[in-house]
């Protein structure tokens, strides 16, 4: 039995990950700021999967102390954590230099500094247990710098991907630790974060379909995955090499 902690689990990708991982046999530790939504999600999961264990906790990932406290508390409650999915994120943002530093800073603190705290807390537990699976949710926008409202968001997701790769690199040199690190690069998957632009966005897929690909990659324990594979596996390669002006039009 695998026990998985998911942050940002109250809606969107996080909530659907909880549903699909529970159906795949995982016990769950679910964290988010909105505990009423977590209560509803737990009731839904237990109605469908009565044998699952589902613990919930309020968590603001920008509260460093709370991240470490909540992760350890949930690990104690469930008898350990096998996997942590660093999913909580924020999609706010504005073009740089247009007077909305507040929105860009909030995105940076949530998406990168908050992810750093989560990785630290998860890896402390995994190092103690000498095993574990760290999953970091990045974004296809991490492939290149993005314009306008996406600039800071894309930068944070690139930072998160580099953070995960650095941890993975270290674990390659630790044969005594059985710790896997997976980076997920979702393309356009419908969620609460992007619902206002979903109708105008090319390549958008439904939450259930998109998350199915994420779960498959997680369960395989791959180093990284672009999800859905079509069109994002070839498009991601193109994004890394095409001129910036072309990339801007593609995205």
Question: Which residues are marked as active site?
Answer: 153
CA 159, 67, 217, 154 dihedral sign is negative
CA distance 224 to 77: 30
CA 35, 41, 44, 47 dihedral sign is negative
Q: Residue 134: left (phi > 0), alpha (psi -120 to 50), or beta?
A: beta
To the nearest 10 degrees (0 to 180), the angle between helices 64-78 and 114-129 is: 40
CA distance 38 to 46: 12
CA distance 237 to 99: 34
CA distance 231 to 86: 24
**Phi–psi pair at 29, nearest 5 degrees:** -120, 115
Token pair, residue 126, equals: 């995994």
């Amino acid at each position: 039995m695998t026990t998985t902690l998911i942050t940002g689990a109250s809606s969107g990708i996080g909530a659907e990950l909880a549903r699909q991982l529970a159906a795949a046999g995982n016990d769950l530790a679910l964290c988010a700021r909105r505990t009423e939504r977590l209560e509803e999600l737990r009731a839904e999961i237990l109605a469908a999967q009565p044998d699952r264990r589902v613990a919930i906790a309020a968590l603001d990932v920008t509260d460093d102390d709370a991240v470490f406290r909540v992760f350890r508390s949930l690990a104690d409650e469930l008898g350990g954590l096998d996997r942590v999915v660093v999913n909580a994120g924020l999609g706010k943002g504005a073009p740089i230099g247009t007077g909305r530093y507040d929105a860009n800073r909030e995105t940076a603190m949530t998406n990168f500094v908050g992810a750093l705290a989560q990785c630290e807390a998860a890896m402390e537990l995994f190092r103690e247990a000498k095993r574990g699976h760290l999953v970091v949710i990045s974004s296809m926008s991490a492939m290149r710098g993005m314009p306008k409202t996406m600039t800071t968001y894309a930068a944070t997701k690139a930072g998160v991907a580099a953070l995960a790769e650095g941890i993975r690199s270290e674990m390659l040199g630790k044969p005594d630790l059985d710790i896997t690190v997976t980076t997920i690069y979702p393309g356009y998957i419908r969620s609460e974060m992007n619902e206002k632009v979903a109708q105008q966005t090319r390549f958008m897929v439904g939450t259930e379909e998109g998350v199915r690909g994420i779960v498959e990659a997680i369960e395989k324990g791959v180093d990284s995955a672009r999800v859905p594979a079509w069109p994002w596996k070839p498009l991601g390669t193109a994004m890394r090499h095409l001129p910036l002006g072309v990339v801007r039009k593609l995205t």
